[in-house]
Amino acid sequence: MTLQDRALACGTRACVLLAASLLEQAGIPVTRAARLPSEVGQDCTIVVVCGDELEDAGRLRLRQLELERRVLVCEISSTSAQSPRRHLALSDSEIQALCGLMDTTGFSQATPIGIPFAETSAALYAAAAIMATRCTPTQQALTQTIEVSLYSCAVNALSTFLPKAFVGTRASRMGNLHPSASPWNTYRTEDGWVLICTGSDDQWRKLADLINVAPADRAGLDKVVERVAAVQRVDGLVEGWTSHHSTAECVAACDGIGIAAGPILQVSHLADEPNFQLRHAEVAQQITQQGISHDSYRGVRIFQIVGLHSEASPSGMPAPTSTPDVGTTANSSMTGPLAGLRVIEIGQYTTAPLAAKHLAALGAEVLKVEPLEGEASRAWTPAIDGTSFFFALNNTDKTPIALNLKDVADRDHFAALVAEADVLIENLRPGALAKLGFGREALSRLNGRLVYCSISGFGIRSAYPARPAFDTVIQAMGGIMDRTRTIENDFPVKTGVSASDILGGQVALFAVILALVQRQDRGQFVEVAMQDVAAWATLYTAGNPETPGQVHVDADGSTWTTSDPRTGRRSVPVTGVEALLQDPDFQMDVLTMASDPNGTLWPVLKPPYRLSHTPARVSSVPGHAQPPVSRRNARK
C-alpha cells in the first residue's frame, strides 16, 4: 500500500509552526495557512491545526473529512476538550503559570521560561504521534485523530518536582543550583560567567585538585550530601578560583579533567559558537549576514539519520513512501501503533528513558538495560522500597534487565538481545558503546534492520568530542538561559525543569519513529544533539517573540499578567507544583495510577497525546532490575 503524505498546518501559534517544521524535516511537504481553507482535504493527508484558533465551520469540515477517512487530523489546544478552561485559549506563558513551570524557575521570584516550552513540547509530541500512525496499515492511519494538550505537555515535564508533591512537601526554586549535586552553579569569571556541574564525588575530587582546595577546606565535603548541605561554602571555594580566570580558561581546564562546563551564550552570538558553526554552517552564515529572522529556526536540523552500516556523516532521509515493516504483531484497535516492536534502552536520568517510555506507551516492548546496582536515579528521594518516584515517572511500562557490559557473558547476552531488537536507544557519552564492542558496524553485523539512536549533548560530529554535557550546560550553550532571565535583576537562569533533556528526549522519540517508518529492512543510525534542539527552540523564540508579561506578588500569592490586543489584559495565578494535585485539569487529563510487580500503586502521568484508534497507554512501574535467568543461576 502506498502512503504519499502531504500536510497542511493551520494556525499562527508556535505549536503549529514548529510541528510543521518537524514534518518538513521528516521530508513531508507542508503547506502553511493562518486559517483552515474551505477546500481542505483535496490535496493533503495530514492536517495539523490549533484548536484554540479553529472556527466552528472549520471544525465541522474536519469532522466530515474524518468520517470520510480522507485525512489524519492532529488538533493541538491549550487544554483538553473536557477542561473547564477550554474556552480561554491560554498563551504559553499562562500555561507555564498555571501548571507550575513558572513557579519552579528563578531565584526569589517565579520566572517565566524564555522559550515557549509548552508549545515546543506539544509540537514534538504531536509530530511523534503523527509519525506513529504511519506504523499502522494505510486505512487505519487515515481514520485516526490525534489530540494534544499544551497543559498536559507542560505538566509531563515536571518529573523532578512532582515526587515531592506526591509525598506532601514543596519543591522550591533553586536558581542555577541542583537539588542533589554540588558544586553545580553559575560562577563569576574575570570576563563573565561560567556554568560548572559535577555529578559525582569523584568529579568533585578532580575539581578540588584542579582549583587547589586545601585539605582543611575539603573537610566535611567528601560526600555529595555534605556538599549539598554546605552549598554556599562549596560555591565560595569554586568562585574563588573562577573569578581569577576567564570563562574560556575555566571551560578549558574543566574539559581537561572531564567536568561539564560551559559559557552562558547569548542567542545573538549563536552563529559564532564553534559547535553550532560546525553543525549548522549555512544557518550560522545567514544569521551573521542578516541577523535572526522569523524563520531562522527552520534551517536547524535537530536530528540526523543515516544508514547504520555507514560511518559517513549523518544526513537527512527522504519521506516515507510506503507502509513499513515495523514489527511482528498485527495492530488492532486495542493495541498501540508500535505493537510488535522491541526496544532496548541503555539510558539514565531523562533523555533516553523519556523517549523509551513513550515508545512503550505507544505499544512497543521496552527492555531497560541497567548496571547491576540499578540506574542511579532509582536511589533519588523520595522513594518507595528503593525506587524513586522520579524513576517511576520516567520508566513506566519497561522490563528492567541488570547487565554488566564489561563482563564477557553479559556482553554476549546483550548481543543476543540486540540481534532480535528493532530499536536500540542510549544516552551514553559518544563512543562509550563502541568501546564495549558495540559500534555501528558491529551493531549492523548483529542486526541489519536495527534502528540505533544516540543522544548526546553536542553530537557525534562535534567541536567538543570529549566534553561531557548536563542539561544545565546545554541550556547555557544553546541560548535557553540567555532567554530565561529573572524578573528582579535580568540575570540568566536555567529552567526549573530539565528543558534541554526533555526536549532532546522528545526529538529522539520523533526521530526513532521516523527511522522505523523509513528503514525498509535497512538499519538506521539516528543522532540527536541536545544543543541543536536548544538552538532550534531559542532561534524560533528570538525570531517570533511572545507578548511580554509581568509577575505580580501580593499577600495572596503571585499572578502572571499579560496585555494582548486579541485578549486584552488578563491575569492567571502562578501555581505551585503541590497545588497541581487539586487542579481539575491535572486530575482529569494528566494523573493516573500504575502498579509495580509487588502490587504497589504509583502516581504516574498519562501521555499528553490522544490517538483515537490506537491509543497510548500507561499501566505499570518496573520492579528492580534482575540479571537474565541464566546469569542468575551462574552467579549463585
Report the catalytic residues.
552
* Contacts (Cβ under 8 Å, ≥6 apart) of 316: 25, 27, 301, 304, 305
Euclidean distance between CA atoms 131 and 148, whole angstroms: 14
**164, 149, 156, 50: which is closest to 101 by C-alpha?**
156
User: Using an 8 Å Cβ cutoff, are 159 and 214 in contact?
Assistant: no
- Measured CA to CA in angstroms, residue 636 lies from 398, 405, 413 at distances of 26, 19, 18
Task: Report which DSSP code applies to 81.
Answer: T
Euclidean distance between CA atoms 480 and 115, whole angstroms: 7
- Please report the DSSP string for 467-524 in residue order: ----HHHHHHHTTHHHH-B-TTT--B---SS-HHHHHHHHHHHHHHHHHHHH-TTS-E
Euclidean distance between CA atoms 503 and 505, whole angstroms: 5
Cell numbers that stand for 243 in this block? 573569578
**H-type helices in 260-349, by residue range?**
274-279, 281-290
Bridge partners of 402?
370
User: Using an 8 Å Cβ cutoff, are 105 and 112 in contact?
Assistant: yes
Q: What is the three-class DSSP state of 372?
A: coil
Euclidean distance between CA atoms 415 and 282, whole angstroms: 40
Could you give the strand order of the β-sheet that contains 549-554, starting from the edge strand earlier in sequence? 549-554, 557-564, 568-573
Question: H or E element: which one contains 539?
Answer: helix 530-543
Pairing of strands 387-388, 46-50: unpaired
Distance of CA 185 to the CA centre of its chain: 22
Euclidean distance between CA atoms 476 and 247, whole angstroms: 13
Cα angle for residues 18, 102, 227 (degrees, 5° grid):
115
Bridge partners of 187?
194
